[in-house]
A and B are shown apart, each in its own frame.
Chain A
Amino acid sequence: MKGRGAAHGGRRTTMRQRFLILSLVILPALAVLGLARAAPMAGALPVIPATQGHYLMGCGGCHGIQGRSGREVVPDLAGQVGYFLCTPEGRDYLVRLPNVAFANLSSEDLARMMNFVVFTFGGASVPANSRPYTTAEIAALRANPLRVADLHGYREQIVRAVTHACPAAAGLHGYDVAQAAREGQ
C-alpha cells in the first residue's frame, strides 16, 4: 500500500479517509435520493438463542425448524414429543436415541436443548407436573445409547406403553405404521 500510495502522490488516501469520503459524500447523496436505510444494528437482527441454535444445527434438518416434518417419515415433535414423558422408559428413550446421545454438546447444553424440544415443541402433549431433564440425568442416559438391531420394534413397544398411559398419544403410531409399510412388513 505504501509504495502504491507514493506512486499516486497527492491522491494517496488512507482507509479512514476513504471511509469519511464515503460517509460524507455518498451517504448524504443517497439520503437525498431517498435510498438511505438505517445501517443494520446488532439489536435489529433476529437472534437465535443458543439452545434453539443447537436444535437447528443438530435436529432441525430432518425434524423441521418448528418441529414439524411430515410425520410419516420423521416423527413430528410439535404437539407430540411430550407424550414420551408419560412413561419412565419413554422419557429415557428420547435421550438414548443415538443421534441425541451422540450430539456434539455438553450434557448441560443437551439438557437445555431437550427441555426446549420437549416443553416448547411438545406444548400440550407434555403431561402435567413433568419435571425438566437435569444435566446429571442426561449424562447418565447418553452413556447408555440404544444399540438395538430393531430400533423400530423397540420404538413401537415404547409408543404402545406411552399410549396406554396417555391415550391422547395414539397419533404417535402413525410413524410406526408408515415405517413398517416402507420396509414391506
Chain B
Amino acid sequence: MVGWNMKTTCCAAMAAMLAVPAGSALAASPVLQAEQSDVATLPPVGAHWVLPATDRESYTIYDADAGRILGTVPASILGNIALSPDRRTFYVADTIWSRVDHGTRQDLIQEYDAHTLALRREITLPPRALAVYKGQDFDVSPDGKWAYVFDMSPATSVTIVDLAKGAVAHTVDIPGCALVFPWKQGGFSSLCGDGSLTNVGYAGDKPTVTHSAQFFDANNDPIFEQGLVDHATGQALFISYTGKVYNVTLGQRPDIAAPWSIQAAAGQPVAGTGVQEQAWRPGGKQPFAWNRASGHLFVLMHVGPHWTHKTDGTEVWELDPTHHTLLRRIDLPQPARGIAVSGDAAPLLYATSQDGIMTVLDARTGAVRRTVEAHAESMIVAPDLMPGHNG
C-alpha cells in the first residue's frame, strides 16, 4: 500500500509539473502517436563475438570490437551452449527443477534462433551429466545433424539427438569413459579412465564402438577434460597435466601422434610429476583455445608443482602445434581462469578472471584492447565459425 501511494503521489507531482509549462505555451498541442513495437534482430554471428557465461544465469553475447552487449541467451550454471554449423541456431543443453533447487527434474535442449534469440523449440532429454561449465559435455556434429549430450548417472553414456526431428535418437553407453569430442563426420570419441579413447560411429542406426590403444597415463599424468576439437577437420589436441600435447585425428580408428612438450617448445624445463616440482604448467578451468586461421594453440600457464591443474594462469603461451614451437608469451594483466580466442586472422584473445572481469587482448601483440566488468564465470565461448557457412 505504501509503495502504491508513493508511486501515485510521485506521478501526480510529475503530471502537475509538466502541465504548467504546457498550459502556458501557445504551441499546437502535440499529436499523440501510438508506440510502434518491434523486435530487434542480430546481424550474422561475427568473428569477434564472444559469449562469456555470466552471473550463473546466461551466456551474454558481446561484440568484442565495439565492447557492446548484443543479447543474452538464458542458461543455468549447468547449461552448455553450442552454435549450429550454419550459425543460425544456438543450442543450450540445460537442467532445471520444477521448484528451482528440488522437485521434478527436467533435462532439455533449448533451441534459440541466432537472429532473433527467440526460443524456437525444446527437446526433452534423459538425465544429463551435471557439470558446472564444461564445453566438452555437449556438442553438435559438424554437419549439424546430431547433438551429443554427455550423461553420467553415474554410469556414463552419451545421448545422441536427431536435431532435424528434435528427438533423442540413441543413447550409447561409454563405460569407463567420459565427455564428447566430435569427429569431422559420423561420430565422436570420449576419453577413458584407462588412458585410451572410445570411438562411437553413428549414422542413424546401430552404433559402432572401437577403442584406441592406451596412449596416456590416466593415473600419473592425466589429460585435461578441456581438450580441443577443430570441427572442420576432426583434429583434436589433448593436453596432459604436465604439458604434453597429443595431436589426434579423431575417427573410428583415431590417429594419435607421439606427444610433444609445451615447455620444451618454449625452451623451458619439461615439467615432471613431482609434488614439489616447480615448473611452468598448464592450468585453469578452461585453459586452452585454438585459433582456426593460424592453427595456433593458446595455453593458460602458471608456475606450480604437479596437481595444480586448476590454478589460474598468469601468462598465455601461443604455440604452433604442427612445428611444436613457441610463438609468443603474453603476460596477462591479472591471473585468468579461462581463455578463448576468435577464429579469424586478426584474432582476439579473451581471458576471464576470478572477479568476473573479461579482458580482451590483441592476440598478435598481447596488448589489452578492453577490460569488461562482465560478471563472467570460468567458461567463455568464442563461436567456432567453420568455413563455408555464412549464417
Contacts and interface: CB of A to CB of B under 8 A. Distances in A.
B283 to A, nearest CB: 22
Interface stretch (A9-17, A25-33, A145-153): A145-153
A98 B200 CA distance: 17
A62 B127 CA distance: 16
Contact of A73 (B153, B192, B200): B153
B176 A102 contact: yes
A97 B173 CA distance: 12
Contact of B153 (A98, A146, A150, A182): A182
A152 B194 CA distance: 20
A102 B193 contact: yes
A179 B157 CA distance: 12
Interface in B148-204: 153-155, 157, 168, 171-177, 192-194, 198, 200
A150 B176 contact: no
Contacts of A149: 172-174, 200, 207, 209
B175 A148 contact: yes
B49 to A, nearest CB: 35
B128 to A, nearest CB: 11
A104 interface: yes
A183 B126 contact: yes
A152 B173 CA distance: 8
A172 interface: no
User: A interface, by DSSP: helix, strand, loop or mixed?
Assistant: loop
A46 interface: no
B33 interface: no
Given A99-B176, A184-B126, A184-B168, A147 B198 contact: yes
B196 to A, nearest CB: 10
Given A104-B219, A147-B211, A183-B126, A99 B193 contact: yes
A150 B194 CA distance: 19
B155 A151 contact: yes
B175 A97 contact: yes
B218 interface: yes
Contacts of B174: 149
Given A145-B176, A146-B175, A151-B173, A98 B193 contact: yes
A76 to B, nearest CB: 14
Contacts of A148: 173, 175, 209
A144 B192 CA distance: 14
Nearest to B126: A183
A101 interface: yes
A99 B178 CA distance: 12
A147 B171 CA distance: 15
B156 to A, nearest CB: 9
A146 B154 CA distance: 16
25 contacts: A62-B154, A73-B153, A73-B154, A74-B154, A98-B177, A98-B192, A101-B176, A102-B192, A102-B193, A145-B194, A146-B175, A147-B175, A148-B209, A149-B173, A149-B200, A149-B207, A150-B173, A151-B157, A151-B175, A152-B155, A179-B155, A182-B126, A182-B127, A182-B153, A183-B126
Interface of A: 62, 73-74, 97-99, 101-102, 104, 145-152, 179, 182-184
